[in-house]
């Protein structure tokens, strides 16, 4: 295990206390009329991790040089592509369910996932999605939660728990695909012992999603039947590739 990974052995309770403190600041700011949403919690967590990792500069450089030492960049790109197409397939399914099950939309938008003020808009929102989100989520869910859980429960169980928690962080329509992506990131982390490989992969995933969103100005992915059929086929193929790959890798996971 690299020294950088050693430094990630932060107790989950420590992170929870930081999250509660940040949530308290967000609630307090709203009382005084400042519109601060949950994305600022991510920023606060990133600064917390930077503080905890402040003494590991040489080890960081070593891990940075070895990002592709155990998994090639071509394989990481393939993982990103199949996960992105699979996520669109799940979005199609979620839209179908919302349109055909009365009250489902209200349940998820008003009860489970209430609307919040988005203070990161335009370029700021894009930078948050591409950079801040991958750094924070990988350090939190793979670097801390997965790392700590597998000390007390079987590794396979730790992967499932951390991936479900990661999925629940996302909105309706993205929960299942986020869980699957979380499992893929856990496997990559365990195979490489390098959290920077996961951050890089997560970065590629988010930037591809942002590119598709940016160029699809006419919402063709959700309105043009030709595009919908194409993406649906790609989603089915992606699901098969993801499922078979996870099935193969699962055999090598220490239980």
Is 20 domain-assigned?
yes
pTM recorded for the entire structure: 0.90
Model confidence over 57-87: pLDDT tens digits?
888 888 899 999 999 999 999 999 999 999 9
Encode the chain (255 residues) as per-residue pLDDT tens digits: 455 776 677 889 999 999 999 989 888 887 877 777 778 889 999 999 999 888 888 888 888 999 999 999 999 999 999 999 999 999 999 888 878 887 666 655 544 444 444 455 555 677 888 999 999 999 999 999 999 999 899 999 999 999 999 999 888 889 999 999 999 999 999 999 999 999 999 999 999 999 998 888 888 999 999 999 999 999 999 999 999 999 999 988 865
For residue 255, tell me if it sits in a domain. Answer: no
Residue 245 lies in a domain: yes
State how far the Cα of 48 lies from the Cα of 51, in Å rounded to an integer: 5
Q: How many domains does the chain have?
A: 1
d(CA 28, CA 5): 34
Cβ(76)–Cβ(200) below 8 Å: yes
Residue 217 within a domain? yes
Tell me which residue range forms the domain holding 234: 3-250
222 part of a folded domain: yes
Residue 56 domain-assigned (yes or no): yes
Report the candidate in 254, 241, 244, 142 with the shortest Cα–Cα distance to residue 189. Answer: 142
Report if residue 104 sits inside a domain.
yes
Contact, 229 vs 235, CB < 8 A?
no
Residue 185 covered by a domain = yes
| Contact (CB, 8 A) for 85 and 231 | yes
């Amino acid at each position: 295990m690299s020294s950088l990974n050693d430094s990630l052995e932060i107790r989950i309770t420590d992170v929870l206390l930081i999250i509660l403190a940040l949530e308290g600041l967000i609630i307090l700011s709203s009382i005084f009329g400042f519109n601060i949403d949950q994305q600022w919690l991510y920023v606060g967590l990133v600064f917390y991790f930077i503080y905890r990792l402040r003494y590991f500069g040489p080890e960081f450089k070593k891990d940075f040089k070895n990002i592709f030492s155990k998994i090639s960049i071509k394989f990481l790109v393939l993982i990103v592509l199949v996960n992105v197409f699979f996520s669109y397939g799940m979005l199609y399914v979620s839209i179908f369910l919302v349109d055909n099950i009365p009250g489902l939309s209200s349940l998820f938008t008003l009860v489970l996932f209430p609307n919040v003020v988005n203070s990161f808009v335009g370029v700021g929102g894009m930078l948050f999605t591409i950079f801040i989100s991958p750094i924070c989520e990988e350090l939190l869910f793979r670097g801390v939660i997965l790392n700590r859980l597998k000390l007390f429960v079987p590794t396979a169980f730790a992967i499932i728990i951390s991936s479900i928690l990661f999925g629940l962080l996302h909105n309706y329509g993205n929960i299942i695909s986020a869980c699957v992506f979380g499992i893929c990131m856990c496997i990559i982390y365990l195979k490489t012992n390098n959290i920077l490989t996961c951050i890089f992969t997560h970065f590629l995933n988010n930037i591809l999603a942002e590119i598709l969103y940016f160029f699809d100005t006419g919402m063709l992915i959700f309105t043009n039947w030709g595009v919908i059929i194409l993406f649906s086929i790609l989603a089915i193929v992606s699901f098969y590739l993801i499922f078979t790959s996870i099935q193969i890798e699962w055999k090598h996971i220490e239980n």
